[in-house]
Amino acid sequence: MKTYPILRLSIPLAAGIFFAECFQGWFPPWGIASLLLLVFVFLTGGLLLPNYGYRWMFGAGAGCFMLLAGYLLTDLKGQQVKVSWPLEKSVYEGTVLEMPVEKARSIQYKVQVNGKHVLLYLSKDSTSRSVGMGDCLQFYAQIRPPENRSDSVGFDYATYLYHKGISGTAYAASGFWCKREKEISLSWKQKALAIRERIVGEYREWGMSETQLPVLSALTIGHKSGLDKTQRETYSVAGISHVLALSGLHVGIVWMLLSFCLRPLERIPRMRWLKWLLATLILWCFAFVSGLEASVVRAVIMCMLMELGRCAGRKALSLNTLGIAAFFMLLYNPFYLFDVGFQLSFVAVISIILFYPLFDKLVSTRIRFLKWVWSTMAVSMAAQLGTAPLVMYYFSNFSVYFLLANIIASAVVPLIIALGVLSLLMIPFPTGHGWLAIGLGTLI
């Protein structure tokens, strides 16, 4: 563990976040802050001691400090989310933060009310469908704290919304809300989501079928709202549902495409940093457009750090870069720890790092195709070994033929992403673009 210092700090930080979730409200924030101050004094004393034999005090102090810091950050985050809303209906004004999501009987909007995030449901009609991201709404309704739904058997929907930062839910019937004419500038994240909607609209104009369009949108930009229940279950049963959720696989493919396009800059020593800067900017743009999913953020941070290690002429340690990604993500948002995508993403990478070398050594061949097949199977087995308990716990299923499905997916998904990017670039050339769109639909 001495080789991975940030990982040593990430573990107690995550433990503090977990304890704060288990013992909500047991300890006041000022008490935790006082303990943090005492531990900091202990930490400083251990660092200043001249005798190396007492340096364990510094390590113990650092662990306790991060444990308490994780607890305090989670407690403060929880206080920001939890709100005591009035018991009666009131008039509220909120700004739509994201693109609307159409449900069976209503349309869901994520709005910001008094600095808090609220899920507002409006009845379906032509007026509600005209509401978009950035619009200001005034509505008369009762905002309630998140509650478990009657159809969410075995799933704690209220806690899920709490970890997503949702402070309440409300329903406004027709005639009890209106759109205010108000100039509101979109944030960078909202502008990125608007770009994502434009790309989906562009895909739709390519003539993709109703089954192809949602898959293409999910694979390339993380737009999953168009996927129906049947498609999700099909991919889940096949053991490749991870390709529908943007993760390290997709970021890695984009990173490889960028490395190939920017390869000429590697030949000039002073231009390597420019390559790193360009690749980092493009990857973060991709993360913003995809909605800043936890698994994507983790992968972008790791790619950024590994590319930085290349520029410095050093080999990046995967566990250390993984620890850095976890450390800063949890500092930014402690609730990331309870995100299923975050958990599956980190567990899969740790499992691949630990078990892939063992599986890869089992078969040795000089035939490139067979070597690629076995490497793909080894990566899949390593990832499934670590994520299987989480998958069975959260989704109550486990694919028995994931090896075959992942071999196909590993070959086809990179082609779909590459052709998707190329098709967007070829829009000004109708003939070539038309052939690419046909090939793209066939692969999907």
pLDDT tens-place string over residues 146-194: 887 665 566 778 888 888 889 999 998 888 888 887 666 777 777 777 8
DSSP string, 25-78: TSS-HHHHHHHHHHHHHHHHHHHH-S-GGGTHHHHHHHHHHHHHHHHHHHHHHH
Cα distances from 387 to residues 209, 248, 270, 313, in angstroms, run: 33, 14, 41, 33
% of the chain surpassing 90 pLDDT? 2
Rounded Cα distance between 110 and 120, Å, is: 6
CB of 70 closer than 8 Å to CB of 12 = yes
Q: Specify whether the CB–CB gap between 12 and 66 falls below 8 A.
A: yes
Q: Are 373 and 404 in contact (CB under 8 A)?
A: no
What is the predicted pLDDT for the residue at 31?
64
The single-letter DSSP state of residue 121 is: E
Instruction: Give residue for tokens 């005639």.
Output: 175
Highest mean pLDDT among 15-29, 107-121, 381-395, 404-418: 107-121
Mean pLDDT of 312-325: 73
Q: How far is residue 183 from each of residues 18, 92, 134, 161, 373, measured CA to CA in Å?
A: 41, 18, 9, 29, 55
**pLDDT score of 53:** 55
Q: Are 225 and 101 in contact (CB under 8 A)?
A: yes
| pLDDT for position 296 | 81
Question: Rounded to whole angstroms, how far apart are CA atoms 145 and 169?
Answer: 6
CA-CA distance, 414 to 420, in Å (whole number)?
Answer: 10
- Report pTM: 0.78
Q: What is the mean pLDDT of residues 119-123?
A: 90
Decide the pairing of beta strands 106-113 and 90-96.
Answer: antiparallel
Helix, coil or strand: residue 164: coil
H or E, element range at 91 = strand 90-96
**Tokens 């949602």 belong to which residue?**
214
| pLDDT category of residue 39 using cuts at 50, 70 and 90 | low
Alpha-carbon gap, residue 319 to 298, rounded angstroms: 12
Q: Where does the pLDDT of residue 58 fall: very low under 50, low under 70, confident under 90, or very high at 90 and above?
A: low
Residue 418 tokens read as: 């590459």
pLDDT band, residue 38 (cuts 50/70/90): low
* pLDDT confidence of residue 225: 73
Say if residue 50's pLDDT is above 70.
no
Which one is predicted more confidently, 338 or 59?
Answer: 338
Q: What is the mean pLDDT of residues 283-289?
A: 83
- In terms of Cβ atoms closer than 10 Å to its own Cβ (0-12, 13-18, 19+), residue 149 is exposed
**pLDDT value at position 59?**
67
What is the C-alpha end-to-end distance of the chain, expressed in Å?
Answer: 43
CA dist 245 and 257 (Å) reads 19
Q: Which helix or strand (DSSP H or E) is residue 117 part of? A: strand 116-123
Q: What is the mean pLDDT of residues 362-377?
A: 80
- Provide Rg for the chain, Cα atoms: 24
Check residue 106 and give its pLDDT: 86
Tell me if 348 sits within 8 A of 384, measured CB to CB: no
| Alpha-carbon torsion (120, 123, 127, 128), positive or negative | positive
Q: Which helix (H) or strand (E) holds 229?
A: helix 229-238
Residue identified by tokens 């959720």 is 245
Identify the residue whose tokens are 């096949």: 238
pLDDT tens by residue, 185-235 = 777 777 777 888 888 887 887 777 778 888 888 888 777 777 777 888 788
Each residue of 392-425: pLDDT tens digit?
787 777 777 777 777 788 778 888 888 887 887 7
Pairwise CA distance, residues 149 & 172, whole Å: 18
